[in-house]
Amino acid sequence: MEILKGACIIGQSGGPTSVINASAQGAIEAALKAGCITKVYGAAHGIRGVLDEVLYDMGAEDPAEIARMKNTPSSALGSCRYKLKDPDADDTDYKRILEVFKKYDVRYFFYNGGNDSMDTCNKISKFMLKNGYACRVMGIPKTIDNDLFGTDHCPGYGSAARYIATTSMEIYQDARVYDTGMITVLEIMGRHAGWLTAASAIATHFGAGPDLIYLPEVPFDLDKFYADVEKIYRKNGKCIVAVSEGIADKDGKLMVEKFAEGADVARDSFGHAQLGGIGITLANMLKAKFGCKTRGIEFSLMQRCAAHCASGNDIAESYAAGKAAVDFAVSGITDKMVGFKCDRSNGYKCEIELLDLALVANTEKKIPAEWINAEGNGLTDAYVDYALPLIQGDPQMPYENGLPRFARLKKINICK
Amino acid sequence: MEILKGACIIGQSGGPTSVINASAQGAIEAALKAGCITKVYGAAHGIRGVLDEVLYDMGAEDPAEIARMKNTPSSALGSCRYKLKDPDADDTDYKRILEVFKKYDVRYFFYNGGNDSMDTCNKISKFMLKNGYACRVMGIPKTIDNDLFGTDHCPGYGSAARYIATTSMEIYQDARVYDTGMITVLEIMGRHAGWLTAASAIATHFGAGPDLIYLPEVPFDLDKFYADVEKIYRKNGKCIVAVSEGIADKDGKLMVEKFAEGADVARDSFGHAQLGGIGITLANMLKAKFGCKTRGIEFSLMQRCAAHCASGNDIAESYAAGKAAVDFAVSGITDKMVGFKCDRSNGYKCEIELLDLALVANTEKKIPAEWINAEGNGLTDAYVDYALPLIQGDPQMPYENGLPRFARLKKINICK
């Protein structure tokens, strides 16, 4: 093993999750302990913090506050959606990153994010290699969307899935309480892959979830949808539907956009657009169609930030992923993303495996066709078997005054 | 004490809460133990179950499932929104209720609900008294709205407040994560009283809540609202606003209706209304006004059914209220609602007190003007001092397969 001595930067990027800070904590704590890592910097708002030289001294933080990152949702260091250009077309940003790395003697770079972030991480890794700058670059996955290629699942997914299944179960109790007809439409995140919406099927599996589930993987047909809902509603007087925000027709056109088309009229008396999302839209359409009470419910940001309802397994695995990235880098590995390899044949075992950054960047993983039922409106038990271990375990949330006690970092900028 | 021997009926009514079943459990367990209560019936869908003779034998339920009602949201026996007529105008329903009471020898009637339910309870009580039918009638309060007169607070409020404060804190983390401008509007329940929306101020008190809070108690002025938001947004680049669904202008007209006026145009290409609620509407208006990213988030049903986030104090008090109703009735009391009298001068003490049904029925309690700040866009510390004890305590939720394990009642109908 070749010892590489120098500072490290940890950055967070993309949409927040309940557990992205658990990964950051795993990486920060491991880096602070590593003898060859001289300084541990947190980049403010991901790669933007590197470009703008806003780097926090993580060694100056109270270790007790760093420990609380495990239960603090969203990205404690700040996030960004900045996309690096193709270095062959424009390498300005890369040159700037190299300049900053050199200035602060950065020899380790850990980037914590989803698809786009792994692309950023991959491009930086390749640029450093090409320019002969000794630097170990590791990706730490994170996305509630669960759509990263090569890994069994993504840190963040289990907690979002637990929130969605729990909330679906609670709404099931609520939405069936009156002796009158009622159709409820749950809108769940997921533009291209239905992993999040699928999680509502876990509630259904245990007898208290949506009757019908529509994913972006299956082309949405409005007539079929009406027929599906009518069948359940006529039988039970109630119907709960879960739809992915990304449901699209057979040509790939998003339903929410399709419904809004020609709706230049969809403005209030002040001339402002008053459009709801696909859940509210479908609820209103079902009301017009069946004349019963309907309600559209959007799980909105809660599904990605409800840390009080996070999965204990997800927290532990996210932490382990962050720690592993540092430990592997220190041992000489570079240009990889940390992934999970799981065995469900005899209980549930989850092991760390390393994947080539180039392989995972920009590849999307969708729900396998065989996990979707024949009608295209629900999930099979194979999905539940896959997802159930991921939502297990209490988050062990620390409380103060009856409310979650989140980490309070000082975030002292060492630059300039 | 005069011993009155006979059966009892317990009914649930109005909008569900996370803890209405804790009250029902308290009443059912006490009634099953009371020597003078011969049978314990649960009315299906409140008073409708009495009128339609759908009564469940609670003695036939597994005690372990009854015990799980403590953590099961919504109304396990079913709810209704049926309003009894004025008995002087039409006493058909009352005669029918008396007929059913006589048929099943019902001598105790416990009704668990909010304002309208206390009105129902009061009318039944008075009818039985007038007709000389020996029957003890007690109201058990329940409403997330916290607007019942005479009691310090209502069972159900603490849990909804805890959900709202917790979720506001989590969204605070999420909505501030990017280095770009963002305005977030939270829409919280409460048509006439701002108690629920006020709960977001607890998060603000601890440094992680909405910047601005608008209640139905303060006439809403759009220009003032824009100016308030602009001030915060220009300073911080972010702004989080909480609005009550019931905010209304100085003439009492609901803002959501006012904005939709003349919006016969607010339809999609299929001709269906696509209106969002006031939160989404204001978010869209702010986007048009300030040109930044905005997001409207409706806490929807989750605020009244998120039992996994319920307040331990609220669960215990709700249970105690149900138990007290039965214990007092058995001891000879009738025609009362169970209320809470609280002392916050040295810690928090909550005692049961009895209130006349006639007094509480149909009287609404709003937030005292002195608890609202001078600007009319926030709460004072006096509110936080009032509310904080109500959100304390872990719900002690039983989990199975990583998900809440709710009660599963057999609900065996003894009638016909």
- Checking if the pLDDT of A264 tops 50, the result is no
Higher per-residue pLDDT: B108 or A256? B108
Best mutation target among A52, A200, A272, A348 (most B Cβ atoms within 10 Å) is A272
* Per-residue model confidence as pLDDT tens digits over A175-210: 999 999 999 999 999 999 999 999 999 999 999 999
Average pLDDT of the segment spanning B83-102: 95
Residues 163-222 of B with CB under 8 A from A: 165-167, 169-171, 173-179, 202-203, 206, 208
Helix (H, G, I), strand (E, B) or coil at A145: coil
When CB atoms are compared, the residue of A263, A309, A403 closest to B274 is: A263
When pLDDT is averaged across residues A362-384 and rounded to a whole number, the result is: 95
Least Cα separation, residue A289 to chain B (angstroms): 9
**Which of the four pLDDT bands, split at 50, 70 and 90, describes residue A267?**
very low
Per-residue pLDDT band at A259 (split at 50, 70, 90): confident
- A311 interaction partners in chain B (CB closer than 8 Å): 402
For chain B, say whether A90 makes contact (Cβ under 8 Å). Answer: no
Query: Which token pair is A331?
Result: 């041992």
B276-295 pLDDT, tens digit per residue, is 589 999 998 999 999 999 99
User: What would the mean pLDDT of A268-284 be, rounded to a whole number?
Assistant: 68
- Give every CB contact of residue B99 below 8 A, 6+ residues apart in sequence: none
Q: Are B69 and A168 in contact (CB under 8 A)?
A: no
Which amino acid, A11?
G
Note whether B178 contacts A301, CB cutoff 8 Å.
Answer: no
Distance between A143 CA and the closest CA of chain B, angstroms: 14
Find all residues with CB under 8 Å of A158, minimum gap 6, and list them. Answer: A311, A313, A314, A317, A390, A391
Which of the residue ranges A17-26, A251-260, B158-167 would you say has the lowest mean pLDDT? A251-260
CB pair distance less than 8 Å for A274 and B270 = no
Reported confidence tier of residue A356, pLDDT bands at 50, 70, 90: very high
pLDDT exceeds 50 at position A279: yes
The C-alpha of A286 sits at a distance from chain B's nearest C-alpha, in angstroms, of 9
Token pair recorded at residue B253: 């007209």
Work out the minimum CA distance from A364 to partner chain B, whole angstroms. Answer: 24
DSSP bridge partners of A6: A37
Whether pLDDT at B262 is above 60: no
Looking at CA atoms only, how far is residue B357 from chain A in angstroms?
25
Looking at the predicted structure, is the pLDDT value of residue B266 above 90?
no
Asked if the Cβ–Cβ distance from B302 to A298 is below 8 Å, we say no
Give the DSSP H/E element, type plus range, for residue A258. helix A255-260
Backbone angles phi, psi at A187, to 5 degrees: -105, 125
Say if B394 is an interface residue toward chain A (CB within 8 Å): yes
Provide the pLDDT for residue A196: 98
Type of residue found at A201: A
Whole-angstrom distance, CA of residue B40 vs CA of residue A310 = 39
ipTM of this model?
Answer: 0.96
Give B270's pLDDT tier (boundaries 50, 70, 90): very low
pLDDT cut 70: percent of chain B above it: 96
pLDDT at A262 over 60: no
Q: What is the reported pLDDT for B276?
A: 58
Q: Do A45 and B206 touch (CB under 8 A)?
A: no
Task: Could you list the beta-strand ranges (E) of A30-181.
Answer: 37-43, 55-57, 106-113, 136-141
On whether any CB of chain A is under 8 Å from the CB of B133, the answer is no
- Do A75 and B285 make contact, defined as CB atoms within 8 angstroms? no
Q: Cβ–Cβ of A406/B48 closer than 8 Å?
A: no
- pLDDT tens, residue by residue, A211-253: 999 999 999 999 999 999 999 999 999 999 999 999 999 999 9
Mean pLDDT, chain A, whole residue set: 94
At A336, the amino acid letter reads K
Q: What is the dihedral of CA A197, A199, A204, A207, to 10 degrees?
A: -150
| Residue B341 touches partner A, C-beta closer than 8 Å | no
What gap in Å lies between CA A125 and CA A357, rounded to an integer?
Answer: 9
Coil, strand or helix at A373: coil
Q: Is A301 on the interface with B (CB under 8 A)?
A: yes
The pLDDT of residue A1: 67
Question: What was the pLDDT predicted at A276?
Answer: 58
pLDDT band at B272 (very low <50, low <70, confident <90, very high): very low
Question: In this predicted model, what pLDDT tens digit does every residue of A304-333 receive, in sequence order?
Answer: 999 999 999 999 999 999 999 999 999 999
Q: Of A269, A277, A392, which has the smallest distance from its Cβ to B402's Cβ?
A: A392
Q: Which residues of A touch B45 (CB under 8 A)?
A: 178-179
pLDDT, residue A8, reads 98
Q: Is the pLDDT of residue A368 over 80?
A: yes
Question: Closest Cα to residue A154, out of A390, A356, A343?
Answer: A390
Burial class (CB in 10 A: 0-12, 13-18, 19+), A92: exposed
pLDDT of B33 > 60? The answer is yes
DSSP states along B341-370: EEE-TTS-EEEEEEEEHHHHTT-B----GG
CA distance A46 to chain B (A): 10
The per-residue pLDDT for range A102-142, each reduced to its tens digit, is 999 999 999 999 888 999 999 999 999 999 999 999 999 99
Q: What is the pLDDT of residue A263?
A: 54
Nearest CB neighbour to B392, from listed A78, A266, A402: A402
Residue with tokens 């657009």: A273
Local structure of B136: helix, strand or coil = strand
Residue of A nearest to B306 (CA): A170
Best B170, B394, B408 member to test A by mutation, with max A CBs in 10 Å, is: B170
The string of pLDDT tens digits covering residues B100-151 is 999 999 999 999 998 889 999 999 999 999 999 999 999 999 999 999 999 9
**Residues B363-376: what's their mean pLDDT?**
95
Determine the residue type at A257.
E
Query: How much is the pLDDT for B257?
Result: 86
Touching check for A309 and chain B: CB below 8 Å? yes
pLDDT above 90: percentage of residues in chain A = 89
Cα–Cα distance for residue pair A133/A105, rounded to 1 Å: 11
- SS3 (DSSP) at B155: coil
Interface contact A272-B295, CB threshold 8 A: no
Which residue numbers of A are catalytic?
A: 145
* A70/A68 Cα distance (integer angstroms): 5
pLDDT bucket at A413, cuts 50 / 70 / 90 = very high
The closest of B120, B134, B95, B153 to B43, measured between CA atoms, is B120
Mean pLDDT of B238-264: 88
Among A48-62, A144-158, A302-316, B254-268, which stretch is predicted with the lowest mean pLDDT? B254-268
Which DSSP string corresponds to B61-122?
Answer: S-HHHHHGGGG--S-TT------PPPTTT--HHHHHHHHHHHHTTEEEEEEEESHHHHHHHH
**Per-residue pLDDT at A354:** 97
Instruction: Spell out which residues of chain B touch residue A263, defining contact as CB-CB under 8 Å.
Output: 267-269, 274
Q: Are B326 and A323 in contact (CB under 8 A)?
A: no
- Which B residues 218-257 touch A at CB under 8 Å? none
B30 touches chain A (CB under 8 A): no
Q: Give residue B411's pLDDT.
A: 97
